[in-house]
Amino acid sequence: MEKACPITRILVYLSKKWTLLILRELHNGGTKRFNELARSMGNISPRTLSKRLKELEKLGVVSKKRFNEIPPRVDYSLTSRGKELIRCFRYLDSWAKK
């Protein structure tokens, strides 16, 4: 079985609905809790948001930090790899404007 091209693999994830908007929210808003992120996204369902965050965490572009508090608290933020991905988007934006 052939390995998928790395670019194809990342594009599969990035092309899913809400993924780029989640990355934008975490980039612009910094660390956010799940409900803060859900409110800032508008019409995204909690199930979809949870699924996309898990996928982004698996890719290594989003980190999930759990706190042992009552009520439980979980923060999401971009990893250094996620910030690097944002820089790629900026480059593509600049390229597209030319």
pLDDT tens by residue, 46-97: 999 999 999 999 999 999 999 888 888 899 999 999 999 999 988 888 888 8
Pick the residue with more confidence: 63 or 11? 63
Mean pLDDT, rounded, for 17-27: 94
Q: How many C-beta neighbours within 10 Å does residue 50 have? A: 13
Residue 1: predicted pLDDT: 41
pTM of the complete model: 0.84
Please, which pLDDT band fits residue 32 given cuts at 50, 70 and 90? very high
Distance CA 16, CA 19 (A): 6
